[in-house]
């Protein structure tokens, strides 16, 4: 049976995504870099811990470490007194041995000697001369951070394919790791097509607009930490667009253009793609973003984003991001769909899967709600700039009233940490 969309030449998003991802291969090379440069880079070799973290039992508080007699029951009673025999600072351990009934002064992070079996914070202690008295009863192992309780020596800390975050950099540093072996950054060439497109600083004649799609795409590519090759604005001229394709294909693993993928008289993108390479598909059953084109060039894969700014952003999010993540060698699974209640009526006709722009937040009842933004046109860049999520409406969805449940996808879950 032919579904409504393939009858009109529109491919369902899931099928488009599967087709596209099948054609994406992982960048081959890897390199060694400093951990300080590894944010948003993909780990190319599993990393195991060279040490225990923490490497020694240490105190979680400024206070006193005791050798308490826990043989009767597991609590030392309030008012119990200990003899104070020394001090342990972070970086200056106490090297003696505590006998039962003895204690030492200890600072947060200092080694708890093997001969101490519990720690109390100084607020719960009374000290007079060399005697330390408990203001409340004390349990064994209190406030001791055990060696290896976070990570044990030899434990795998990062699998191959892990995308490093800022806190991962800290974790690597805490293990004494200086360098990591990571996948090469994919090279991505970007250009925009259109006679009407001008750059900031240029004056606008009637019909001209300031070009924005490459700025959005490049900003998102930089967030993904891929290598960007900015080829600028190309006029609506078949030969010039062809030359841009050839140059981009020579330089990059992936080429992303915007504009010229519809049916207008100056929409040359897919014709050039067909001449130089192969069109895998064109037109998908989504709104916005229907005329997206995907194909292959001799050395690279090609993503033809539609010119309308919201359509370009949506198609980059839905298809460009997972493809590049796959190329980078990291997780490219779909971002979470989260149920939320719409605060307003949503209009939609059955046919295309719709990615409306919304603002999600937790209301006073603790419920996740989403406001569908009023202006949903595919040229309204300010709406997507205001939004923090997509309201994801399946192809057959026919709109709904305020108070009904819809699914959302948070932008932060799409483009990553
Ligand atoms: N007869 C039909 N016309 C259109 C259809 C259709 O199915 N039949 N589809 C519409 C849809 S949906 C979209 S989306 C657009 C996509 O068209 P193109 O990819 O060919 O894009 P352009 O025509 O070049 O531009 C569309 C629009 O976006 C502005 N634009 C283009 N590039 C940029 C840029 N880099 N920065 C900012 N704005 C840009 C451009 O000025 C136009 O206003 O086609 C519909 N038409
Ligand atoms: O798909 Mo177009 O992107 O609806 O404006």
**Ligand 1 centroid from CA 128, angstroms:** 82
Assess if residue 333 is contained within a domain.
Answer: no
8 A C-beta contact, residue 370 and residue 325? no
For the chain, how far is it from start to end, CA to CA, in angstroms? 42
**Residue 417 pLDDT grade (very low, low, confident, very high; cuts 50, 70, 90):** low
Closest ligand 2 atom to residue 286 Cα is 1
> Residues 208, 303: one domain?
yes
Name every protein residue with a CB atom under 6 angstroms from any ligand 1 atom.
Answer: 192, 194, 196-197, 209, 211-214, 258-264, 267, 288, 290-291, 306-309, 311, 378-379
pLDDT at 1 exceeding the cut of 70? no
**Residue 3 pLDDT grade (very low, low, confident, very high; cuts 50, 70, 90):** very low
Half-sphere exposure of 22 (CA within 13 A, CB side): 9
Q: What is the CATH number of the domain that holds 361?
A: 2.40.340.10
pLDDT at 5 exceeding the cut of 70? no
8 A C-beta contact, residue 213 and residue 355? no
> Residues 189, 271: one domain?
yes
* ipTM summary value: 0.97
> Residues 198, 290: one domain?
yes
CA 34 to chain centre: 20
**Ligand 1 centroid from CA 202, angstroms:** 22
CA separation for the pair 281, 284 (Å, rounded): 8
**Ligand 2 centroid from CA 377, angstroms:** 8
8 A C-beta contact, residue 233 and residue 197? yes
Domain that holds residue 358: 338-415
Mean of per-residue pLDDT scores for the chain = 95
3-state secondary structure of 305: strand
The total of structural domains in the chain comes to: 4
What's phi and psi for 245, nearest 5 deg?
-60, -45
3-state secondary structure of 32: strand
**Ligand 2 centroid from CA 132, angstroms:** 75
Using CA positions, which residue lies closest to atom 2 of ligand 1?
263
pLDDT tens per residue across span 371-390: 999 999 999 999 999 999 99
pLDDT at 339 exceeding the cut of 60? yes
> Residues 158, 254: one domain?
no
**Which range among 74-78, 118-122, 149-153, 373-377 shows the weakest confidence by mean pLDDT?**
74-78
pLDDT at 201 exceeding the cut of 60? yes
Per-residue confidence (pLDDT) for residue 72, from 0 to 100: 63
Q: What share of the chain in percent tops pLDDT 90?
A: 94
> Residues 117, 194: one domain?
no
> Residues 251, 207: one domain?
yes
Per-residue confidence (pLDDT) for residue 185, from 0 to 100: 97
**Ligand 2 centroid from CA 287, angstroms:** 6
Average pLDDT score over residue span 253-264: 94
**Which range among 233-237, 308-312, 322-326, 413-417 shows the weakest confidence by mean pLDDT?**
413-417
> Residues 173, 135: one domain?
no
Using CA positions, which residue lies closest to atom 4 of ligand 2?
288
> Residues 350, 409: one domain?
yes
The overall pTM is greater than 0.80: yes
Nearest listed ligand to the Cα of residue 263? 1
pLDDT at 112 exceeding the cut of 80? yes
Q: What is the CATH number of the domain that holds 84?
A: 2.170.190.11
CA separation for the pair 152, 150 (Å, rounded): 7
Assess if residue 218 is contained within a domain.
Answer: yes
> Residues 189, 264: one domain?
yes
Q: Which of 194, 234, 314 to mutate to test the pocket of ligand 1 (most atoms within 8 A of CB)?
A: 194
Per-residue confidence (pLDDT) for residue 69, from 0 to 100: 82
- Residue with the larger pLDDT of the pair 71 and 141: 141
Per-residue confidence (pLDDT) for residue 2, from 0 to 100: 38
Nearest listed ligand to the Cα of residue 306? 1
């Amino acid at each position: 049976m032919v579904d409504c969309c393939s009858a009109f030449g529109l491919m369902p998003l899931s099928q488009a995504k599967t087709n596209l991802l099948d054609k994406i291969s992982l960048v081959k090379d890897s390199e060694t870099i400093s951990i300080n440069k590894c944010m948003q880079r993909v780990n190319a070799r599993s990393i195991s811990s060279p040490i225990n973290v923490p490497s020694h039992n240490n105190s979680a508080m400024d206070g006193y470490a005791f050798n308490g007699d826990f043989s009767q029951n597991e609590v030392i009673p309030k008012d119990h007194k200990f003899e104070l025999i020394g001090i342990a600072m972070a970086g200056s351990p106490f090297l003696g041995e505590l006998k039962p009934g003895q204690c030492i002064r200890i600072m947060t992070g200092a080694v708890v000697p093997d001969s101490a079996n519990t720690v109390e914070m100084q607020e719960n202690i009374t000290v007079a001369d060399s005697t330390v008295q408990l203001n409340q009863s004390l349990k064994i192992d209190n406030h001791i951070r055990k060696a290896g309780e976070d990570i044990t020596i030899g434990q795998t800390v990062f699998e191959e394919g892990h995308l490093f975050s800022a806190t991962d950099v800290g974790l690597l540093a805490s293990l004494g790791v200086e360098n990591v072996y990571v996948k090469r950054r994919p090279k991505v060439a970007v250009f925009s097509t259109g006679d009407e497109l001008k750059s900031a600083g240029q004056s606008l004649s009637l019909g001209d607009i300031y070009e924005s799609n490459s700025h959005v795409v490049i900003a998102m590519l930089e967030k993904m930490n891929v290598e960007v090759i900015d080829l600028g604005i190309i006029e609506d001229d078949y030969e010039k667009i062809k030359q841009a394709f050839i140059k981009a294909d020579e330089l990059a693993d992936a080429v992303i253009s915007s504009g010229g993928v519809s049916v207008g008289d100056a929409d040359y993108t897919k014709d050039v793609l067909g001449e130089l390479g192969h069109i895998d598909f064109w037109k998908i059953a989504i709104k916005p973003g229907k005329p997206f084109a995907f194909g292959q060039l001799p050395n690279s894969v090609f993503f033809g984003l539609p010119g309308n700014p919201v359509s370009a952003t949506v198609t980059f999010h839905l298809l460009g991001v997972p493809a590049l993540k796959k190329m980078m060698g990291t997780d490219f699974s779909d971002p979470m769909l989260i149920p939320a209640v719409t605060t307003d009526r949503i209009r939609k006709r059955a046919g295309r899967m719709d990615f409306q722009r919304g603002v999600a937040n937790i209301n006073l009842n603790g419920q996740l709600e989403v406001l569908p933004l009023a202006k949903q046109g595919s040229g309204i860049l300010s709406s997507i700039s205001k939004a923090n999520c997509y309201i994801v409406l399946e192809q057959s969805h026919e709109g709904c009233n305020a108070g009904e449940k819809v699914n959302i996808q948070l932008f932060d879950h799409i483009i990553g940490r």
